[in-house]
Amino acid sequence: MTQIRLRNSLTRKVEDFQPIDPENVRMYLCGPTVYDRAHLGNARPVVVFDVLYRLLRHVYGPDHVTYVRNFTDVDDKINATALARKEAGAEGSLEDLIRARTEETIGWYHADMDALGALRPDHEPRATDYIGAMIAMIEQLIADGHAYAAEGHVLFRVRSYKEYGALSGRTVDDMIAGARVEVAPFKEDPMDFVLWKPSDDELPGWESPWGRGRPGWHIECSAMSYELLGASFDIHGGGIDLQFPHHENEIAQSCCAHPEGSFARYWLHNEMLQVEGKKMSKSLGNFFTVRDLLDGHDGEKGIPGEVIRFVFLQTHYTKPMDWTAEKARQAEATLRKWRALTAGIEPAPSAAPEVIAALADDLNTAGAIAALHQIADPAVLKSSAAMLGLLEDAMGDWAAAPEADLSGLADKFAALRENAMQTKDFAPVDAMKQALVAAGVEVRMSKAGVELLPGPDFDPTKLEGL
Ligand SMILES: Nc1ncnc2c1ncn2[C@@H]1O[C@H](COP(=O)(O)OP(=O)(O)OP(=O)(O)O)[C@@H](O)[C@H]1O
Ligand SMILES: [Zn+2]
């Protein structure tokens, strides 16, 4: 059996991966807060952990891996978007608007991540379906002296858990000095964090022993992972931005509520997708959405999901990376070549050992791609690329359509339009526009000029004679 090695953030070492139960290898990934479209950075963990999921399924068998990725559908940012809609005159109760917003966002998320070739996890729990489990966990923590209720809140008593800080390698005192901890009069210690908080009538809330309220973010993952994977499981993943405080708090809650278990054994963190050296994030405003990239935006043409995936996989998940148009161009050229080579070919029964070996070496995806370049047999290329979620039929045959070069036609159309301005005879312009539209070309006219973009029904054969 292939020995997988993974860099464990807990020990800061690359270790042999030994599952608790090879019959059921269990992995949890922190999923999105569903208030808006995912940006490109949010897609990086999805692609990285999808590759790990594929590798685990390959090594242990597809029926012996359980992958859970949650949806955080209770959050102040979701409430704020729903409230803004209500204030803008949307109909329905705030609760209906919140539900509509989270449903819509989950739909977008699925469509976007499917387009990147990510397999759906085995479970995608929504936090609002696990409130009872969260309340039970909080009660246990209070009973054991790890948490206390105060003014409608419940707080985790950080000093009650000696190992706190082990994951991020910092002491509690260092953390207080470095972090923006919220000081509140009802806290025993500024480090203590919220497990439960009160909701006013305007906000979604659930009845609890501490009054009507809602859970804190960290307890959501602890409760959902416990319910679906148990007190001890194998791998916990997420972006490095979640290591502190989110993951540190998950560990504290889970290990204190379930001392019989060890919570996650291997912690994996992906580094950030950056824009000019800074994390792409909603709060910095330096983001573009996955959908923008897929569909095209600001005059740029759309990029196939497979190309986006390939670009991600060329950088090791532990390294920060930038998105560049040049990387996308090169990835597209490689994929077009490989897709032409493997079109209509049945994948070989197994993947090339060098590709598996690279992936088993702490997900060396760049090494696996380098190995793909060396494969001459198209059948083996196809089965090996599938380990990375590439060259699969499920991605559609986007590369089958010839690259459309519409710039010559755009120039011609612009010249016709120029001319019509003088002659006041717009019939030739209209005729050409109709022909372009009939060929599935989107015609955009502005003061700056004419732009022709191939639409979803683009058929280049219909352009002949233009
Ligand atoms: N720039 C990035 N690069 C890689 N992963 C990221 C980046 N930004 C967020 N993530 C990851 O995306 C996942 C979903 O996170 P979440 O929904 O909490 O993001 P968010 O709060 O919407 O993003 P932001 O950080 O932009 O506010 C997490 O695993 C997080 O680590
Ligand atoms: Zn989490």
Q: What is the pLDDT of residues 127-172, one digit of tens each?
A: 999 999 999 999 999 999 999 999 999 999 999 999 999 999 988 8
Nearest CA to ligand 1 atom 19: 32
Q: What pLDDT sits at residue 456?
A: 64
What are the residues whose beta carbons fall under 8 Å from the beta carbon of 364, sequence distance 6 or more? 316, 358
Binding site: which residues? 30, 221, 246, 250, 282
pLDDT above 90 as % of the chain: 79
Mean pLDDT of 219-234: 98
Lowest mean pLDDT among 2-16, 148-162, 180-194, 298-312: 180-194
Q: What pLDDT sits at residue 404?
A: 61
Where in the sequence of the chain do the CATH 3.40.50.620 domains occur? 5-270
What are the residues whose beta carbons fall under 8 Å from the beta carbon of 438, sequence distance 6 or more? 462
CA of 242 to the centre of ligand 2 (A): 8
- 70-95 burial, b at 16+ Cβ within 10 Å, e below that, comes to bbbbbbeebbebbbebbeeeeeeebe
Residue where the block lists tokens 């979620």: 389
Q: What pLDDT sits at residue 400?
A: 80
Residue where the block lists tokens 């807060």: 33
φ, ψ of residue 135 to 5 degrees: the values are: -60, -45
Q: What pLDDT sits at residue 402?
A: 63
| CA-closest candidate to residue 156, choices 273, 71, 254, 87 | 254
Reading phi first (left if > 0) and then psi (alpha if -120 to 50, else beta), residue 184 is in beta
pLDDT above 70 as % of the chain: 98
Reading phi first (left if > 0) and then psi (alpha if -120 to 50, else beta), residue 301 is in beta
Residue 395: CB atoms within 10 A of its CB come to 21
Per-residue pLDDT tens for 243-284?
999 999 999 999 999 999 999 999 999 999 999 999 999 999
CA of 311 to the centre of ligand 2 (A): 26
Do 290 and 37 touch, CB atoms closer than 8 A? yes
- Of 30, 33, 39, 42, which is best to mutate to test ligand 1, by the most ligand atoms within 8 angstroms of its C-beta? 42
CA of 43 to the centre of ligand 1 (A): 8
| CA-closest candidate to residue 70, choices 197, 231, 237, 193 | 237
Asked if residue 179 has pLDDT above 70, the reply is no
Nearest-atom index, ligand 1, CA of 273: 3
Q: What pLDDT sits at residue 182?
A: 75
CA dihedral 161, 140, 204, 39 (to 10 degrees): 40
Q: What pLDDT sits at residue 276?
A: 92
Residues within 6 Å of ligand 1 by CB: 30, 32-33, 41-42, 44-45, 238-239, 241-242, 270, 272-273, 279-283
- Tokens representing 112 are 């976007």
C-alpha R_g of the chain: 26
CATH level 2 (architecture), domain 5-270 = 3-Layer(aba) Sandwich (3.40)
Asked if residue 452 has pLDDT above 90, the reply is no
Q: Which residues pair with 129 in a beta bridge?
A: none
Mean pLDDT over each residue of the chain, to the nearest integer: 94
Per-residue pLDDT tens for 359-394?
999 999 999 999 999 999 999 999 999 999 999 988
Burial group, residue 25, by CB count within 10 angstroms (0-12, 13-18, 19+):
buried
Confidence of residue 89 (pLDDT cuts 50, 70, 90): very high
Q: What pLDDT sits at residue 406?
A: 80
Mean pLDDT of 9-30: 98
Per-residue pLDDT tens for 388-425?
999 998 888 898 866 667 878 888 898 999 899 899 99
Confidence of residue 109 (pLDDT cuts 50, 70, 90): very high
Do 303 and 328 touch, CB atoms closer than 8 A? yes
φ, ψ of residue 444 to 5 degrees: the values are: -115, 120
| CA-closest candidate to residue 363, choices 116, 1, 7 | 7
